[in-house]
Structure 1
Protein backbone atom coordinates (compact mmCIF):
# COMPACT_ATOMS: atom_id res chain seq x y z
CA UNK A 1 0.00 0.00 0.00
CA UNK A 2 1.35 3.43 -0.94
CA UNK A 3 1.12 6.12 1.67
CA UNK A 4 -0.02 9.49 0.46
CA UNK A 5 2.40 12.36 1.04
CA UNK A 6 1.81 14.39 4.15
CA UNK A 7 1.12 18.11 4.05
CA UNK A 8 4.62 18.69 5.42
CA UNK A 9 6.17 16.65 2.60
CA UNK A 10 4.36 18.72 -0.04
CA UNK A 11 5.64 21.99 1.44
CA UNK A 12 9.33 21.20 1.06
CA UNK A 13 11.54 19.92 -1.70
CA UNK A 14 13.47 16.71 -1.28
CA UNK A 15 16.80 18.36 -1.88
CA UNK A 16 18.37 21.44 -0.36
CA UNK A 17 18.96 24.36 -2.70
CA UNK A 18 21.26 22.86 -5.35
CA UNK A 19 22.89 26.22 -6.10
CA UNK A 20 23.98 26.44 -2.47
CA UNK A 21 25.38 22.92 -2.71
CA UNK A 22 27.00 23.40 -6.15
CA UNK A 23 27.55 27.15 -6.69
CA UNK A 24 28.71 26.69 -10.31
CA UNK A 25 25.14 25.69 -11.18
CA UNK A 26 24.22 29.37 -11.44
CA UNK A 27 26.94 29.94 -14.03
CA UNK A 28 25.87 26.91 -16.05
CA UNK A 29 22.21 27.94 -15.94
CA UNK A 30 23.13 31.50 -16.94
CA UNK A 31 25.22 30.28 -19.88
CA UNK A 32 22.39 28.04 -21.10
CA UNK A 33 19.89 30.89 -20.81
CA UNK A 34 22.22 33.19 -22.75
CA UNK A 35 22.82 30.58 -25.47
CA UNK A 36 19.10 30.01 -25.97
CA UNK A 37 18.23 33.71 -25.82
CA UNK A 38 20.12 34.68 -28.96
CA UNK A 39 16.93 35.83 -30.77
CA UNK A 40 17.24 33.33 -33.63
CA UNK A 41 14.08 31.54 -32.44
CA UNK A 42 11.06 33.35 -31.04
CA UNK A 43 11.02 33.17 -27.24
CA UNK A 44 7.46 31.83 -27.45
CA UNK A 45 8.60 28.87 -29.54
CA UNK A 46 11.31 28.10 -27.02
CA UNK A 47 8.76 28.33 -24.21
CA UNK A 48 6.36 26.01 -26.03
CA UNK A 49 9.07 23.40 -26.56
CA UNK A 50 10.20 23.63 -22.95
CA UNK A 51 6.63 23.29 -21.70
CA UNK A 52 6.25 20.22 -23.91
CA UNK A 53 9.47 18.77 -22.51
CA UNK A 54 8.15 19.18 -18.96
CA UNK A 55 4.96 17.40 -19.95
CA UNK A 56 6.78 14.53 -21.65
CA UNK A 57 9.04 13.82 -18.68
CA UNK A 58 6.15 14.13 -16.24
CA UNK A 59 7.50 17.03 -14.21
CA UNK A 60 4.83 19.16 -12.60
CA UNK A 61 7.49 21.67 -11.59
CA UNK A 62 8.77 22.16 -15.17
CA UNK A 63 5.25 22.15 -16.61
CA UNK A 64 4.03 24.82 -14.18
CA UNK A 65 7.24 26.86 -14.62
CA UNK A 66 7.11 26.96 -18.40
CA UNK A 67 3.34 27.45 -18.56
CA UNK A 68 3.75 30.39 -16.19
CA UNK A 69 6.55 31.84 -18.31
CA UNK A 70 4.33 31.61 -21.38
CA UNK A 71 1.48 33.35 -19.53
CA UNK A 72 3.83 36.16 -18.49
CA UNK A 73 4.83 36.50 -22.15
CA UNK A 74 1.16 36.98 -23.08
CA UNK A 75 0.37 33.56 -24.51
CA UNK A 76 -3.28 32.54 -24.54
CA UNK A 77 -4.62 29.86 -22.24
CA UNK A 78 -5.80 27.95 -25.32
CA UNK A 79 -2.28 27.67 -26.73
CA UNK A 80 -0.75 26.78 -23.37
CA UNK A 81 -3.36 24.10 -22.67
CA UNK A 82 -3.12 22.71 -26.20
CA UNK A 83 0.63 22.01 -26.05
CA UNK A 84 -0.10 18.55 -24.64
CA UNK A 85 -2.19 17.76 -27.73
CA UNK A 86 -0.38 20.01 -30.20
CA UNK A 87 -0.65 17.60 -33.15
CA UNK A 88 -4.44 18.01 -33.22
CA UNK A 89 -4.68 21.62 -32.04
CA UNK A 90 -5.30 24.49 -34.47
CA UNK A 91 -3.28 27.03 -32.47
CA UNK A 92 0.28 26.50 -33.72
CA UNK A 93 2.21 27.65 -36.76
CA UNK A 94 4.01 25.17 -38.97
CA UNK A 95 7.33 26.35 -37.50
CA UNK A 96 6.07 25.81 -33.95
CA UNK A 97 4.80 22.36 -34.92
CA UNK A 98 8.24 21.47 -36.28
CA UNK A 99 9.84 22.59 -33.00
CA UNK A 100 7.31 20.62 -30.95
CA UNK A 101 7.88 17.57 -33.16
CA UNK A 102 11.61 17.84 -32.47
CA UNK A 103 11.18 17.91 -28.70
CA UNK A 104 8.75 14.99 -28.88
CA UNK A 105 11.22 13.02 -31.00
CA UNK A 106 14.21 13.75 -28.77
CA UNK A 107 12.46 12.94 -25.49
CA UNK A 108 10.26 10.02 -26.56
CA UNK A 109 11.78 6.62 -27.36
CA UNK A 110 11.02 5.36 -30.84
CA UNK A 111 10.78 1.57 -30.98
CA UNK A 112 10.70 1.67 -34.80
CA UNK A 113 13.90 3.53 -35.63
CA UNK A 114 15.88 6.61 -34.91
CA UNK A 115 14.26 9.34 -32.86
CA UNK A 116 14.96 12.20 -35.26
CA UNK A 117 14.72 10.82 -38.78
CA UNK A 118 15.93 12.76 -41.81
CA UNK A 119 12.34 13.69 -42.70
CA UNK A 120 11.78 15.41 -39.37
CA UNK A 121 15.09 17.24 -39.62
CA UNK A 122 14.21 18.37 -43.16
CA UNK A 123 10.81 19.59 -41.94
CA UNK A 124 12.44 21.62 -39.18
CA UNK A 125 15.07 22.96 -41.59
CA UNK A 126 12.28 24.35 -43.78
CA UNK A 127 11.38 26.70 -40.94
CA UNK A 128 14.69 27.32 -39.18
CA UNK A 129 18.16 28.15 -40.44
CA UNK A 130 21.24 26.44 -38.99
CA UNK A 131 21.62 28.91 -36.11
CA UNK A 132 17.96 28.62 -35.19
CA UNK A 133 18.10 24.81 -35.33
CA UNK A 134 21.16 24.83 -33.08
CA UNK A 135 19.27 27.16 -30.73
CA UNK A 136 16.25 24.83 -30.65
CA UNK A 137 18.60 21.97 -29.85
CA UNK A 138 20.09 24.03 -27.00
CA UNK A 139 16.57 24.90 -25.74
CA UNK A 140 15.72 21.20 -25.55
CA UNK A 141 19.08 20.62 -23.87
CA UNK A 142 18.50 23.49 -21.45
CA UNK A 143 15.27 22.06 -20.09
CA UNK A 144 16.67 18.53 -20.23
CA UNK A 145 19.63 19.63 -18.10
CA UNK A 146 17.19 20.43 -15.31
CA UNK A 147 14.99 17.31 -15.68
CA UNK A 148 16.93 15.18 -13.15
CA UNK A 149 16.92 18.05 -10.67
CA UNK A 150 13.16 18.52 -11.14
CA UNK A 151 12.32 14.82 -10.86
CA UNK A 152 14.74 13.87 -8.08
CA UNK A 153 14.92 17.10 -6.06
CA UNK A 154 11.20 17.89 -6.48
CA UNK A 155 11.27 21.69 -6.25
CA UNK A 156 7.88 23.14 -5.42
CA UNK A 157 5.74 24.02 -8.45
CA UNK A 158 4.69 27.64 -8.66
CA UNK A 159 6.97 28.76 -5.83
CA UNK A 160 9.71 31.35 -6.31
CA UNK A 161 13.25 29.98 -6.71
CA UNK A 162 14.23 31.43 -3.33
CA UNK A 163 11.42 29.54 -1.57
CA UNK A 164 11.16 26.26 -3.49
CA UNK A 165 14.08 24.41 -1.91
CA UNK A 166 14.49 23.31 1.66
CA UNK A 167 17.44 25.10 3.27
CA UNK A 168 20.90 23.57 2.98
CA UNK A 169 22.34 22.56 6.31
CA UNK A 170 25.87 23.48 7.34
CA UNK A 171 28.27 20.57 7.15
Structure 2
Protein backbone atom coordinates (compact mmCIF):
# COMPACT_ATOMS: atom_id res chain seq x y z
CA UNK A 1 0.00 0.00 0.00
CA UNK A 2 1.38 3.37 -0.99
CA UNK A 3 1.20 6.37 1.35
CA UNK A 4 -1.39 8.96 0.36
CA UNK A 5 1.02 11.81 1.17
CA UNK A 6 4.44 12.22 2.68
CA UNK A 7 4.39 12.02 6.46
CA UNK A 8 2.58 15.21 7.58
CA UNK A 9 5.37 16.08 10.03
CA UNK A 10 7.73 16.29 7.06
CA UNK A 11 5.30 18.59 5.25
CA UNK A 12 4.62 20.74 8.33
CA UNK A 13 7.92 20.82 10.23
CA UNK A 14 6.62 23.15 12.96
CA UNK A 15 4.57 20.19 14.20
CA UNK A 16 7.76 18.35 15.13
CA UNK A 17 8.57 20.85 17.88
CA UNK A 18 5.12 20.41 19.43
CA UNK A 19 5.40 16.63 19.25
CA UNK A 20 8.83 16.75 20.88
CA UNK A 21 7.41 18.80 23.76
CA UNK A 22 4.58 16.29 24.27
CA UNK A 23 7.10 13.43 24.24
CA UNK A 24 9.41 15.14 26.74
CA UNK A 25 6.53 16.10 29.02
CA UNK A 26 4.99 12.62 29.10
CA UNK A 27 8.37 11.03 29.77
CA UNK A 28 9.33 13.40 32.58
CA UNK A 29 6.72 12.52 35.21
CA UNK A 30 8.38 9.46 36.69
CA UNK A 31 6.40 6.77 34.88
CA UNK A 32 8.72 3.87 34.05
CA UNK A 33 9.73 4.04 30.40
CA UNK A 34 8.72 0.40 29.94
CA UNK A 35 5.18 1.26 31.03
CA UNK A 36 4.93 4.14 28.57
CA UNK A 37 6.32 1.96 25.80
CA UNK A 38 3.79 -0.79 26.58
CA UNK A 39 0.96 1.76 26.48
CA UNK A 40 2.23 3.07 23.13
CA UNK A 41 2.53 -0.41 21.65
CA UNK A 42 -0.92 -1.54 22.82
CA UNK A 43 -2.75 1.57 21.55
CA UNK A 44 -0.88 1.27 18.25
CA UNK A 45 -1.90 -2.39 17.92
CA UNK A 46 -5.54 -1.51 18.52
CA UNK A 47 -5.42 1.25 15.91
CA UNK A 48 -3.55 -0.85 13.35
CA UNK A 49 -0.70 1.64 13.06
CA UNK A 50 2.08 -0.36 11.39
CA UNK A 51 4.88 2.22 11.76
CA UNK A 52 4.11 2.74 15.46
CA UNK A 53 3.85 -0.98 16.23
CA UNK A 54 7.11 -1.58 14.37
CA UNK A 55 9.05 1.31 15.92
CA UNK A 56 7.55 0.71 19.36
CA UNK A 57 8.46 -2.97 19.45
CA UNK A 58 11.94 -2.28 18.08
CA UNK A 59 12.57 0.47 20.63
CA UNK A 60 11.42 -1.81 23.42
CA UNK A 61 13.65 -4.64 22.24
CA UNK A 62 16.60 -2.24 21.94
CA UNK A 63 15.84 -1.10 25.52
CA UNK A 64 16.19 -4.69 26.73
CA UNK A 65 12.57 -5.82 26.65
CA UNK A 66 12.08 -9.58 26.48
CA UNK A 67 10.49 -11.30 23.51
CA UNK A 68 8.02 -12.95 25.90
CA UNK A 69 6.61 -9.58 26.91
CA UNK A 70 6.75 -8.10 23.41
CA UNK A 71 4.88 -11.02 21.88
CA UNK A 72 2.26 -10.96 24.64
CA UNK A 73 1.24 -7.29 24.66
CA UNK A 74 -1.91 -7.94 22.61
CA UNK A 75 -2.98 -10.64 25.11
CA UNK A 76 -1.60 -9.06 28.28
CA UNK A 77 -4.59 -10.16 30.39
CA UNK A 78 -3.90 -13.84 29.69
CA UNK A 79 -0.16 -13.85 30.41
CA UNK A 80 1.97 -13.61 33.56
CA UNK A 81 4.52 -11.19 32.06
CA UNK A 82 3.21 -7.83 33.27
CA UNK A 83 3.20 -6.15 36.67
CA UNK A 84 0.02 -4.86 38.27
CA UNK A 85 0.94 -1.21 37.49
CA UNK A 86 1.62 -2.17 33.86
CA UNK A 87 -1.71 -4.01 33.67
CA UNK A 88 -3.51 -0.95 35.02
CA UNK A 89 -1.78 1.28 32.46
CA UNK A 90 -2.57 -1.16 29.63
CA UNK A 91 -6.25 -1.27 30.65
CA UNK A 92 -6.33 2.53 30.70
CA UNK A 93 -4.66 2.66 27.28
CA UNK A 94 -7.22 0.27 25.83
CA UNK A 95 -10.18 2.16 27.28
CA UNK A 96 -8.89 5.58 26.24
CA UNK A 97 -8.10 4.30 22.74
CA UNK A 98 -11.50 2.65 22.26
CA UNK A 99 -13.58 5.64 23.37
CA UNK A 100 -16.48 4.96 21.01
CA UNK A 101 -16.81 1.26 21.84
CA UNK A 102 -18.85 1.68 25.03
CA UNK A 103 -21.04 4.37 26.60
CA UNK A 104 -18.77 4.51 29.67
CA UNK A 105 -15.56 4.90 27.69
CA UNK A 106 -13.17 4.89 30.65
CA UNK A 107 -14.99 3.19 33.52
CA UNK A 108 -14.25 4.20 37.10
CA UNK A 109 -12.86 0.72 37.77
CA UNK A 110 -10.21 1.17 35.07
CA UNK A 111 -9.30 4.66 36.27
CA UNK A 112 -9.28 3.64 39.94
CA UNK A 113 -7.00 0.67 39.23
CA UNK A 114 -4.51 2.98 37.53
CA UNK A 115 -4.81 5.51 40.36
CA UNK A 116 -3.79 2.80 42.84
CA UNK A 117 -0.39 2.57 41.17
CA UNK A 118 0.36 6.04 39.85
CA UNK A 119 0.37 9.57 41.25
CA UNK A 120 -1.82 12.25 39.68
CA UNK A 121 1.19 13.61 37.81
CA UNK A 122 2.04 10.14 36.52
CA UNK A 123 -1.58 9.53 35.51
CA UNK A 124 -1.53 12.83 33.64
CA UNK A 125 1.60 11.70 31.82
CA UNK A 126 0.09 8.32 30.93
CA UNK A 127 -3.09 9.97 29.62
CA UNK A 128 -1.00 12.48 27.65
CA UNK A 129 1.07 9.63 26.20
CA UNK A 130 -2.03 7.64 25.24
CA UNK A 131 -3.44 10.71 23.51
CA UNK A 132 -0.13 11.40 21.76
CA UNK A 133 0.08 7.80 20.59
CA UNK A 134 -3.47 7.97 19.26
CA UNK A 135 -2.53 11.23 17.52
CA UNK A 136 0.39 9.52 15.75
CA UNK A 137 -1.75 6.46 14.97
CA UNK A 138 -4.48 8.49 13.36
CA UNK A 139 -2.06 10.44 11.19
CA UNK A 140 -0.22 7.33 10.07
CA UNK A 141 -3.32 5.23 9.41
CA UNK A 142 -5.16 8.06 7.62
CA UNK A 143 -2.22 8.78 5.33
CA UNK A 144 -1.37 5.07 4.92
CA UNK A 145 2.15 5.25 6.27
CA UNK A 146 3.78 1.83 6.36
CA UNK A 147 6.37 0.25 8.57
CA UNK A 148 9.84 0.39 7.05
CA UNK A 149 11.22 -2.77 5.50
CA UNK A 150 13.92 -4.25 7.73
CA UNK A 151 14.57 -7.49 5.87
CA UNK A 152 16.07 -8.30 2.51
Alignment TM-score > 0.5, same fold: yes
Instruction: Report whether the alignment pairs 1:91 with 2:81.
Output: yes
User: Once the 2 structures are TM-superposed, how far is the Cα of residue 60 of structure 1 from its aligned partner?
Assistant: 1.5
Q: CA RMSD in A?
A: 1.7
Please give the secondary structure, in 1, of the residue aligned with 2:146: coil
For these two proteins, the number of residue pairs brought into alignment is 149
Contact residue 7 and residue 140 of structure 2 kept, 8 A: no
Report the structure, 1 or 2, having the larger helix content.
Answer: 2
Q: What are structure 2's unaligned runs of at least 5 residues?
A: none
Measured in 1, the distance between the counterparts of 2:13 and 2:53 equals 25
Instruction: Report whether the alignment pairs 1:15 with 2:37.
Output: no
Residue in 2 aligned with 1:42?
32
Instruction: Report whether the alignment pairs 1:151 with 2:144.
Output: no
- Normalised TM-score (structure 1): 0.81
Runs of 4+ in structure 1 over 4 Å off? none
Residue in 1 aligned with 2:58?
68
Instruction: Report whether the alignment pairs 1:51 with 2:45.
Output: no
- Normalised TM-score (structure 2): 0.90
Contact residue 61 and residue 154 of structure 1 kept, 8 A: no
